[in-house]
Chains A and B, each alone.
Chain A
Amino acid sequence: MWLRCGRLLRGRSERGLYFPINHRIVDQRSTPQAGTEEADIQSRYRRQLRTNFTTGATRQTQAPAWSQRVRPTHFLSLPLPARCTLRVRVKEMHDAMIFADQHVESLLIPVARLHVTLGVMTVGNGVDAAAESQEDATEAAVASSVKSSADLLASIHDCVGQAAHEICKEPLQLRFRGLGTFSHGRVLFARCITEAHFSTLDHLVRRIRKDVGLGLGVDMKGNPHDSYVPHVTVAKIRPSQQAEFGHQIPMTMWASHQHDEFGDVTFDKVDLCAMKGQGKDGYYPVVSSVSV
């Protein structure tokens, strides 16, 4: 008996602090008296205190409520060049994920569709404009709405071309490392880290957002003065899959790849793509493209 107690005591003092620092937590969300006398409140608080670095959660530009209700239709993207390490490594990562769990195959974005998203927008088509009349650009011309949205796309193309011409002097070399998640773990993406030509890209994105969002009055899904987190979406749970897969991509699926290196890619085109439908060889339909 002595021996057992001795072992207990020794174990306790050997392992570390008597009251470990990471257990010293005060929860101020409950009323101050509650924890002391009425009841003791227990929880695994470390789960709430996990940081963004651990969970991979990333703050994307937040769309206001009115623009969250409409689906985005077009997006700006940097299409991947024909041969690049990013595509190969994402393919490898997808294979590893599928090998670990076959069910996740439908969550993964096909390799042909990989791109760097620079911004998402709702360019009002006729139905949207008639129903919600939220954009003055389209509201003015409900009758010839198809034509107006085509006009709008053309002027967006002009803006993007001008911005790209002024800001990017050379092809953008970007570096991708690590995975992150958007919208509470629903979207998994490869991060574009702030090295190489990232700041040029950021200037470009800000400029485009300002021109398109403020100048043309397009709904850019977020404040036009804000910047956008460029990312390569790798996997996501679509609303139709939510019954099957739940709200968030399980972290076990990507935790081993969380800090993977995806390599450098040099981009020389900025595309304006539509979200619906198929373009050539499995990519999104490209509305217009600008070479940098």
Chain B
Amino acid sequence: MKCGALLRFKVTPLLLLVPGKLSQYEQEAYEAHRRFTDSQTYPGPIRSATPGDTRFYLGSVETILQDNDRHYWRAVVDDPQIQYLVPLRIRFKTFIWVTTGWEKRMQVVQVMAHRDSTIAELMQQVRIENQSPYLCTSSFKLSIDGRELDEVKTLADYGIDEFSRIDAVEENDHLLHTEAERPKDWNVDEMTEDTLKKSPYKEMSMQPQPNLAPRYEAKPNGFHGRNNYSGMKQNS
């Protein structure tokens, strides 16, 4: 009996993360908000009874919560609010030097976009927010599920909320399967003088310095086995 209760408690947070549950939650929140705005007799919230979040709490790290969430225990369910600033996550692909070669990984730029901003404004904001020098070097386009987003349309036209997966497609992304566009790897390729003066290779400093100066992460060759990483199980 005791064991069963314990199990249930352990399982519950996992259940909350299931995407189906998430969409159910979204849907319910949306409906609640619509019904809330439809009401005709609501007098409005009282400011002093609807506190904001606190910046001072236990723990050493600063955490950012959802904007309907607080750092303290508030048992009351607050009024559903419109999110004016939507945290949007834009996925880029970057090449990460893992010492045995380049690895293609996902890097996310998170921006707080205004609720009715256009896609062009969103892209501009991404360019501003991005702090990696390797991301927005060329012009990029946003896409959802492979379909490009039109720059003049707004977020609401595509129904973009914080859960939508937005990809950034850069100019030469469709050429990355070729050798020419892919970054050069000094384990395999020859590094000439003028390549070493160019962007990623210059600051990577191929020749080891006494302190091994920019020290990158390393992944051994056999890390994933004989095949590369894949979503599906490969036999070998």
| A41 adjacent to B110 (CB under 8 Å) | yes
A223 to B129, CA, bound (A): 38
Which residues of B in the span 198-233 have a Cβ within 8 Å of any Cβ on A?
209-211, 213
| B43 adjacent to A5 (CB under 8 Å) | no
Q: How large is the interface on A (under 10, 10 to 19, 20 to 34, 35 or more residues)?
A: 35 or more
Does A276 belong to the interface (CB within 8 Å)? no
A55 to B41, CA, bound (A): 33
| A65 adjacent to B39 (CB under 8 Å) | yes
Residue from B65, B91, B110, B112 whose CB has the most chain A CB atoms within 10 Å: B110
What does the 1/0 interface line of A208-236 toward B look like (CB < 8 Å)?
Answer: 00000100000001111111000000000
Which residues of A in the span 34-60 have a Cβ within 8 Å of any Cβ on B?
34, 38-45, 47-49, 51, 59
| B129 adjacent to A44 (CB under 8 Å) | yes
Assuming the A-B contacts A27-B110, A224-B43, A225-B46, are A45 and B130 also in contact, with contact meaning beta carbons closer than 8 angstroms in the complex? Answer: no
Does B111 belong to the interface (CB within 8 Å)? yes
Chain B residues within an 8 Å CB radius of A28: 63-66, 69
* Contact residues of A: prevailing secondary structure: loop
| B64 adjacent to A39 (CB under 8 Å) | no
A34 to B87, CA, bound (A): 15
Nearest-Cβ distance from residue B33 to partner chain A, whole angstroms: 9
A39 to B55, CA, bound (A): 27
Chain A residues within an 8 Å CB radius of B69: 28
Nearest-Cβ distance from residue A245 to partner chain B, whole angstroms: 14
A31 to B42, CA, bound (A): 35
| B47 adjacent to A61 (CB under 8 Å) | yes
Q: Of A24, A26, A42, A66, which is within 8 A of B110 by CB?
A: A42
Closest to A39 in B: B106
Q: How large is the interface on B (under 10, 10 to 19, 20 to 34, 35 or more residues)?
A: 35 or more
Q: Of A42, A64, A184, which is within 8 A of B42 by CB?
A: A64
What total count of A-B pairs have CB within 8 Å? 114
| A42 adjacent to B107 (CB under 8 Å) | yes
Which residues of A in the span 55-87 have a Cβ within 8 Å of any Cβ on B?
59, 61-67
Does B20 belong to the interface (CB within 8 Å)? no
Nearest-Cβ distance from residue A199 to partner chain B, whole angstroms: 15
Closest to B211 in A: A5
A38 to B162, CA, bound (A): 18
Does A144 belong to the interface (CB within 8 Å)? no
Closest to B22 in A: A31
Nearest-Cβ distance from residue A123 to partner chain B, whole angstroms: 17
A59 to B48, CA, bound (A): 10
Chain A residues within an 8 Å CB radius of B62: 22, 24-26, 49
Chain B residues within an 8 Å CB radius of A61: 44, 47
| B109 adjacent to A43 (CB under 8 Å) | yes
Chain B residues within an 8 Å CB radius of A26: 61-64
Nearest-Cβ distance from residue B184 to partner chain A, whole angstroms: 23
| B47 adjacent to A25 (CB under 8 Å) | no
Does A266 belong to the interface (CB within 8 Å)? no
| B65 adjacent to A29 (CB under 8 Å) | yes
Chain B residues within an 8 Å CB radius of A43: 109-111, 129
Nearest-Cβ distance from residue B159 to partner chain A, whole angstroms: 19
| A39 adjacent to B47 (CB under 8 Å) | no
Chain B residues within an 8 Å CB radius of A22: 62
Does A131 belong to the interface (CB within 8 Å)? no
A12 to B62, CA, bound (A): 23
| B131 adjacent to A44 (CB under 8 Å) | yes
Nearest-Cβ distance from residue B135 to partner chain A, whole angstroms: 9
| B131 adjacent to A42 (CB under 8 Å) | yes
Does B105 belong to the interface (CB within 8 Å)? yes
Closest to B81 in A: A62
Nearest-Cβ distance from residue A120 to partner chain B, whole angstroms: 12
A5 to B205, CA, bound (A): 13
Nearest-Cβ distance from residue B192 to partner chain A, whole angstroms: 22
A-B contact pairs, 14 of them (CB 8 A): A5-B210, A5-B211, A24-B60, A24-B62, A26-B64, A28-B63, A39-B105, A40-B108, A44-B131, A49-B64, A59-B52, A64-B39, A64-B42, A223-B44
Other contacts beyond A5-B210, A61-B47, A64-B43: 19, CB < 8 A: A1-B210, A5-B209, A28-B66, A29-B87, A30-B89, A39-B105, A39-B106, A40-B107, A41-B89, A42-B132, A47-B112, A48-B64, A49-B55, A49-B64, A59-B52, A66-B42, A213-B43, A225-B46, A227-B47
8 pairs of A and B residues whose beta carbons are closest in the complex: A65-B37, A43-B110, A39-B106, A223-B44, A64-B44, A41-B108, A64-B42, A226-B46
Residues of A within 8 A of B (CB): 1-2, 5, 22, 24-31, 34, 38-45, 47-49, 51, 59, 61-67, 134, 184, 213, 221-227, 247
Residues of B within 8 A of A (CB): 17, 36-48, 52, 55, 60-66, 69, 84-85, 87, 89, 91, 105-112, 114, 129-132, 162, 209-211, 213
